[in-house]
Amino acid sequence: MNGWAVCALVVIGAPLLLLLRWVVSDWRRARRRQRFRARQQPDWSVAAIVARVEQQRADEAAVWPTEDPEVTDVLPAVPVNEQPTTVTPITRLPVRKRPYVERRPSPYPRQRTPLQAPDTEIMRQVLDGLRRFDER
């Protein structure tokens, strides 16, 4: 690394470090000011309650990572072999008509009679035409 690279690092790094120091100190000063205001207000004020809750959460977070297995184990460990494997059949629920839903009549009502099968001679002509169309 030559002298110009060191000079460039100093020129770029020094303002960044000063900016970082200023941001951190400003954040700390704001936190200190907030805690001071919370101490001067009554216990039932919003600032005092927020400061108290933050302090309690910080205390809990400081104690939380413990080596005690009773605290860290939330659920018991169950081996896979002891788990029952019961397959529940999938059943559809019956369709229930809802009397409170009023639907508009459909412009295309369903036909009660099934549709008639198309004429076999016409279908044969259509299929022959499609085959000839593919050959072209």
pLDDT at 123: 92
pLDDT at 71 over 60: no
Residue 121 is classified by DSSP as H
| pLDDT exceeds 70 at position 82 | no
Nearest to 37 by CA among 51, 57, 27, 21: 51
Tens-place pLDDT, residues 14-32:
888 999 999 999 988 888 8
Long-range contact set of residues 71-75: C-beta below 8 Å, sequence gap at least 24? none
Averaged pLDDT, 83-87: 68
- Tell me what pLDDT residue 99 has: 77
pLDDT of residue 128: 93
What pLDDT, on the 0 to 100 scale, is given for residue 62? 76
